[in-house]
Structure 1
Amino acid sequence: MSWITFPATSFMPIQATEIAKEVDLLYAFLIVSSLVSFVILIGGMTWFLVKYKRTSVDQKSAYITHNNFAEFLWSFIPLLILLGIFYWGMVIFEKLRVPPEEVAAEIHVTAEQWAWTYTYANGKEFYSAGEDPLIVPAGKPTKLILTSKDVIHSFFVPAFRAKQDAVPGKFTQLWFEPKEPGEFIVFCTEYCGTKHSGMMIKIKAIPADDYAAWFHAEKKGAETPADKGKTLFAQKACASCHSLDGSRIVGPSMKGLFGNSRKFADGSSANADENYLRESILVSSAKIVEGYPPAMPVFQGQLSDEEVNNLIEYIKTIK
């Protein structure tokens, strides 16, 4: 098996994803449009300085008549260009932030001073201090679920033009799709302490078939996060209030919960993503589902971050 290690360039990092091309195109447009605007502004100002330069003490200042149409054009045309740039950037931002509905790999990435831990759905777990790369499939979308144990960190892959903060007590997400196999450097771009600059890891993209074989090979962990979550769900007697088959008991059913919209007693609604599930587990009174009593106890301080993550991974499996 051969690997491609992409070289750095003098201007921009390599474009390892299709979105990276779109980001660079917008960036190039901003540079060119800024240059054109600079030439028009400074060139026009210089021309006026030369053309209307006062050549004698007695010479009166030149008078330029007012032109409403000209003033409208030099305000309206830049406005259209700026609105176009805003819309263009919004479309790219949406692509960067919203992962596809179907992803080939979903990996939990936990930051701490000064390392990353990545946990796969099958229970494999790696710690970056041991120089293990983050292995992902090439040509397939990968979703990372990020959090932090201590301070704010930031997961930045220049070759993917992808960056997302890892925040304590909260889940954020990042997705990418490497075009081909290779190794790509990841930086922490949020200052996090004395060893911040050394918090670098590698993403190793391998062919999709090789990734599937690696993923299904013997795992390091005895149980998957979802397996551990299922055990914890039983230990905490969650099933006494939350059914798994869609039937109504004390609390809302867990069947098909993840990813669906929830309506609350105060009239608001939210999508049942990782952050919603985390909040509902730890502080159950924060959002009361419409039609149900606020009967669930608060588990904040009783469950570790790992246990909460495991419960969420189990809930995801209840379709």
Structure 2
Amino acid sequence: MSPSEGSEEGLRVRNLSVTYRISRGPFRRPDELRALRDVDLDIAPGRSLGVVGESGSGKSSMARAFLRLQSLSGGKIVWRGHDITQMTEEAFRHMRPDIQMVFQDPLASLNPRMQVADLIAEPLLTHRRDLGKVERRKIVIETMGRVGLRPEFAERYPHQLSGGQAQRVGIARAIVLSPKLLICDEAVSALDVSVQAQVLTLLKQLQEEMGLSLLFISHDLAVVRYVSDDIIVLYLGRLVEYAPRDILFENPRHPYTRALISSVLSSNPRIEREHRSPPIGGDIPSPINPPSGCPFHTRCPIAEAICREKMPELRHWPDGARVACHVANRGLVPPSETTLKGMQ
């Protein structure tokens, strides 16, 4: 779904900007780090939006902003018709059960001194004080079953769990309040590949059962392709491409998107040698002092003079994609079938 087709029942974000002030000492003016700049996106009920980009692109700042754990320097976030950026903390407290998060490191997000049942029950104690102990316990056991944890796990502590089991506890904590939007910030990156597949399948199953919207943040393009309906690509805090999943992978238009897709390794050494593209050249510019014009022009192999002088605007394409690039599609060859099949 493109930003122009946002649903009042889902998430609608316009001109989202996040700026951090970096201290340089007691007598010097602090630097400003623009983590996000004028990002637009929408997530309709039951849909999944993938967010990709290198470290420092603003992915986690976006997730924190949606949860009001990070103040904004501009823009608005509308959730189910309500502008949450204008709400008081007390007013937003009533909406917190609707938006929950699954974190990257499952063990780091769980209190090591609490048993699994108490960890899952904690959100109910905060937001469902009307429940009695018996009702609360029943909901906890039912939720454990939904994420594939047997009842005997209720008395275990986090250190007695595998990484996959701990992440299932984290997911259980997130869904026990029956949210409408689940934010997954690198939720499977700390897990083994086989366990990743199990957790991703679980997330898709829960999405279908509960009608969840998903915001899935990851640096792993194969994971994003599996779980997402639409995908946005961030670079240095700016949205550079936004498209339905299949369109983005089969016909990526921005040079940065294409470089990310081409960098995916193949399991076949011969194919890897034949189809491997060179890595993105150069270093990521400093977000404190970003380059003029297109932020990617310092690393772009097809940059032209206009790229160094003028910031590109997001342009609509007939197939639903939106791309911020002066030279989109120019001099580019679609990714090989081998590369795409390796990511499915």
TM-score normalized with structure 1 length: 0.25
Task: Give the TM-score taking structure 2 as reference length.
Answer: 0.24
Which has the higher relative contact order, 1 or 2, with Cα contacts under 8 A spaced 6 or more apart?
2
Whose Rg is larger?
Answer: 1
